[in-house]
Chain A
Amino acid sequence: QKEVEQNSGPLSVPEGAIASLNCTYSDRGSQSFFWYRQYSGKSPELIMFIYSNGDKEDGRFTAQLNKASQYVSLLIRDSQPSDSATYLCAVNDRDYGGATNKLIFGTGTLLAVQP
């Protein structure tokens, strides 16, 4: 059973701080990793994706991937109250046949940024 694990939170950080969200996955052969943000009652919104070991930065967001440790993280710098949401980690299922891209989702981490 392939799994993606996240701490459900809530993770509470003060406004302006760095929020660090973590995710581990069980399939060592996974190749693609995605972070989605989901506000309550809304649909998931793609924030970042990363394929290679190391860091990938986009504005206030940095995704970090360590394939040896099977660990992917999302850092949010200068956190704002508007960043308060559930953050879903997703990993591709490489054994899913054909030209499809099945994602395995973690259960999500609820982030609360305190003004």
Chain B
Amino acid sequence: DTEVTQTPKHLVMGMTNKKSLKCEQHMGHRAMYWYKQKAKKPPELMFVYSYEKLSINESVPSRFSPECPNSSLLNLHLHALQPEDSALYLCASSQGRTVKNQPQHFGDGTRLSIL
């Protein structure tokens, strides 16, 4: 178990469904991240929320939308996903006033399958 908690651990959804992935950390970290990882590939950064500012990887389609209710929570809303979106979705966080160079700590991930 890690200090970054992701729910659910597994999710199966149809292409017309709306669902959300949740991520929470209680380490006082000021930056949180969402990654997508396909089998045998490295994680790909989707979003960064750091010091109340959202940064987006421009290649991420609009059917993915992040939400940060507070500094310890980062949700990922899913809508009208495609089969190619099936992957392991990883949340991570990092600490410090200057978060550059700080290690990122990953949650256990959500295994998402799109039917």
Collect the chain A residues with CB atoms within 8 Å of residue B21's CB.
none
Tell me the dominant secondary structure on chain A's binding face: loop
Collect the chain B residues with CB atoms within 8 Å of residue A97's CB.
55
| B64-98 contacts to A (CB < 8 Å) | 88, 90, 94, 97-98
Check: A99 CB closer than 8 A to any chain B CB: yes
Tell me the dominant secondary structure on chain B's binding face: loop
Inter-chain CA distance A45–B55, complex, in Å, is 24
Check: B17 CB closer than 8 A to any chain A CB: no
Q: Among the listed B31, B43, B88, which residue makes an inter-chain contact with A99, where contact means beta carbons less than 8 Å apart?
A: B31
- CB pair B104 A99 closer than 8 Å: no
Inter-chain CA distance A107–B40, complex, in Å, is 8
Inter-chain CA distance A49–B66, complex, in Å, is 28
Q: Among the listed A49, A99, A108, which residue makes an inter-chain contact with B99, where contact means beta carbons less than 8 Å apart?
A: A99
Check: B59 CB closer than 8 A to any chain A CB: no
- A43-B2, A44-B90, A92-B101 given; A103·B45 CB < 8 A: yes
- The chain B residue sitting closest to A89, CB to CB, is B42
- Interface residue tally of chain A, by bracket? 20 to 34
- The chain B residue sitting closest to A33, CB to CB, is B101
Collect the chain A residues with CB atoms within 8 Å of residue B55's CB.
96-98, 100
- CB pair B100 A44 closer than 8 Å: no
Inter-chain CA distance A43–B101, complex, in Å, is 20
- CB pair B48 A100 closer than 8 Å: yes
Q: Among the listed B30, B48, B103, which residue makes an inter-chain contact with A49, where contact means beta carbons less than 8 Å apart?
A: B103
Q: Give chain A's interface residues, CB within 8 Å of chain B.
A: 31-32, 34, 36, 41-46, 49, 51, 88, 92, 94, 96-103, 105-108
* A-B residue pairs in contact (CB < 8 Å), sample of 25: A31-B100, A32-B100, A32-B101, A41-B88, A43-B109, A44-B43, A44-B106, A46-B103, A46-B106, A49-B103, A51-B101, A88-B42, A92-B100, A92-B101, A98-B53, A99-B51, A100-B31, A100-B48, A100-B55, A100-B100, A101-B94, A101-B99, A102-B45, A103-B45, A108-B42
